[in-house]
Amino acid sequence: MKRFIETYKDQKFDVIVIGGGITGASVAYEAASRGLSVALFEKKDFSWATSAATSKMIHGGLRYLANGEFGLVRESLRERRVMENIAPNFVYPMSVMILHRAAPFKNRKWIVKIGMVLYDLLSYDKSFTWDRSKRIPMHKTISKEMVLLLEPGVPPEGLTGASVYYDCESIFPERLTLAFIKSAVAYGARVSNYCAVEGFLSDGKHNIKGVKVRDLLSDKISSVRGDVTINCAGPWADLVLGMAGSGSNAASLRRSEGIHIITSKKLISGRYTVGAVTHSGRFFLSPWRGHTLIGTTDKPYNGDPDRYRVTRAGITELIGHVNDAFGEGSLEYADVKHAYGGLRPLVEDQTEETYSSSRKYEIYDNMKDGIEGLVTVEGGKYTTSRNLAEQCVKIIERKLGRKGTRSITKNHYLHGCAIKDIEVFLERAKNDNRDFGAPTLDYLARHYGTEYGEVLKIAREDEELSRSVNTDGEILAQVVYALRHEMARTLPDILMRRTGMGTLGHPGNDVLEKAARIAAGELNWDRGRMEREIAAVSEILTLPRE
């Protein structure tokens, strides 16, 4: 996979996509798979912002039932099953325990029971998975005594029992987004990270004819022509739209902050994701790579999205919610190994309910505001991104005057994910590569799918690259693979989005130094550049002081 902007001449495209998060990646894949020529630009790295700041769930949206969003829940449940099918190495069934207490009222057992029954009914096709191991059971209700036996960290005061239901986890959302990018490229899409769109090409009559792009690595500006441009910039969508030079009804975005923390402190058993409902909202404690992932928050953010940072106050507030509702109240700031956050784009509306406000202009043809050739996508969920892209391409085809074509993306594996039986695949990987440890083979087979053998090939060429750098079994050959085949261009790209070496917190100076040295050899960095890259990663992995 190469940055096409480096060799771009003067090709015109059917579709230009702005944004390399899950929405832009899905639109690019959907459009390319239908035979359209596609160019995608991301101003930083793929999946660096909102798409990385998730709770690592592929879910049906149980909480939306309370708002009567039955169509949304059904869509989400259907797409949950699609994700299980097309990305079997990334998406797995996950058991969730929702604790019942007398207060708040919405968390009482009989109220949640109604929602659970509806959830099961709306997911009537959940057993229609290609891989039998992906099939999801019905919910069940358990007693207070059973809750305390299964999850001893749950405070018994006011506890009346729990409901156990099933959704899915995404073990590495950034690499899942990358799988959509790779799938688009496999169908001929041309993609580039570190390319900032700085303006639109126009005929002088508000007809968009393409974009002006700055390659941030070379500082070269290119004019790229396209018939339809899709604005998938997420929390930046209104700012991108502002470059079109005309007001739009689709431009009224507000932004919501969501943060997560990761701790190695033993808070849950590791068998369940545990959901706690408080008067201020709901948060989940999920087992992840031997740690506990806790989140998320939902607070308005009114600043410049480029200046957003997770704050100490935000982390402290989330810790307070955890201590109020779970465990012995002993979680401290020092127990946090890593924290991350992001902004959700919400469309301004009269309602305060998050999703309904984001649905109103989810796909907006700016022709309605006199701007032809531009479509803005706002809001949306990771789980439903593929279906959103399918609906978006219907609009694109109409605008191009083309006969509508049938989507194939729900019926085909993503690139690198053609695995009929994940358990058989993992076992075969271990049996066929006995020169590597079981943790390494399990990790690589899940996170690289059918491409894991290419990582092993690199490792076998250099013993230093085959050594594990963490308890998950990750190896330095992944760094080389990221640089040569996955368009990684910075140390944060490598450690935070292509590998998991930095996503549990600081991996140690030795790992940073080794990864930087490998990158320097591949990308011709000098010592000064290496030190700047190490400093950039260290800043990301240092908890905020204020």
Confidence (pLDDT) at 61: 87
Q: Report residue 67's pLDDT band, with 50, 70 and 90 as the boundaries.
A: confident
- Residue 157, Cβ density class (10 Å: 0-12 exposed, 13-18 middle, ≥19 buried): exposed
Instruction: For the beta carbon of residue 71, count every other beta carbon within 10 angstroms.
Output: 11
Percent of the chain with pLDDT over 70: 94
Residue with token string 């809750």: 147
Q: Considering only CA atoms, which of 448, 489, 381, 412 is closest in space to residue 2? A: 489
Lowest mean pLDDT among 29-43, 138-152, 267-281, 513-527: 267-281
- Is beta strand 253-263 parallel, antiparallel or unpaired with respect to 220-231? unpaired
Question: CA dist 202 to 238, 243, 398, Å?
Answer: 18, 11, 20
Q: What is the dihedral of CA 229, 379, 352, 244, to 10 degrees?
A: -20
pLDDT at residue 105 tops 60: no
Q: How many CB atoms lie within 10 A of CB 205?
A: 8
> How sure is the predictor about 249, in pLDDT bands with cuts at 50, 70 and 90?
low
- Give the model's pLDDT for residue 66: 78
pLDDT of 350 reads 34
Residue type at position 191:
V
Query: Confidence band (pLDDT; 50, 70, 90) for 433?
Result: very high
- Fold for 4-50+174-252+354-411, please state it: FAD/NAD(P)-binding domain (3.50.50)
4-50+174-252+354-411 and 422-541 in the same fold = no
Q: Which element (helix H / strand E) includes 432? A: helix 422-432
Residue in 289, 294, 299 with CA at minimum distance from that of residue 326: 294
Residue 347 has a pLDDT of 65
Number of Cβ within 10 Å of residue 353's Cβ equals 16
Q: What residues are paired with 255 via a beta bridge?
A: 301, 345
Q: What is the mean pLDDT of the chain?
A: 92
Check if the beta carbon of residue 73 is closer than 8 Å to that of residue 61: yes
User: What value does the mean pLDDT take over residues 41-46?
Assistant: 98
The CATH homologous superfamily to which domain 91-169+254-347 belongs is D-Amino Acid Oxidase, subunit A, domain 2 (3.30.9.10)
**Cα(24)–Cα(16) distance, integer angstroms:** 10
Measure the N-to-C terminal CA separation of the chain; round to a whole number of Å. 39
- Band (510; pLDDT cuts 50, 70, 90): very high
CA distance 84 to 58: 9
Task: State the CATH architecture for 422-541.
Answer: Orthogonal Bundle (1.10)
Give the pLDDT of residue 359. Answer: 42
Residue 546: band (very low, low, confident or very high) from pLDDT cuts 50, 70, 90: confident
**pLDDT value of position 247:** 58
pLDDT of residue 268: 94
463-509 pLDDT, tens digit each: 999 999 999 999 999 999 999 999 999 999 999 999 999 999 999 99
Q: Do 302 and 253 contact (CB within 8 A), yes or no?
A: no
Q: Which of 63-67, 70-74, 184-188, 422-426 has the lowest mean pLDDT?
A: 63-67
The average pLDDT across 381-400 equals 96
Domain ranges of the chain: 4-50+174-252+354-411, 91-169+254-347, 422-541
Residue whose structure tokens are 């339809």: 228
Residue 511's pLDDT is 97
Q: At 251, is the pLDDT very low, low, confident or very high (cuts 50, 70, 90)?
A: very low
Indicate the pTM of the whole model.
0.95
Read off the pLDDT band of 360 (50, 70, 90).
very low
Q: How far is CA 194 from CA 43, 52, 197, in A?
A: 5, 17, 10
Q: Convert the pLDDT of each residue in 158-171 to its tens digit.
A: 899 999 999 999 99
Q: Of 165-169, 241-245, 525-529, which range is least confident?
A: 241-245
pLDDT number for residue 248:
57
**Confidence at 357, pLDDT banded by 50, 70, 90:** very low
pLDDT digits 0-9 by tens, 448-468: 999 999 999 999 999 999 999
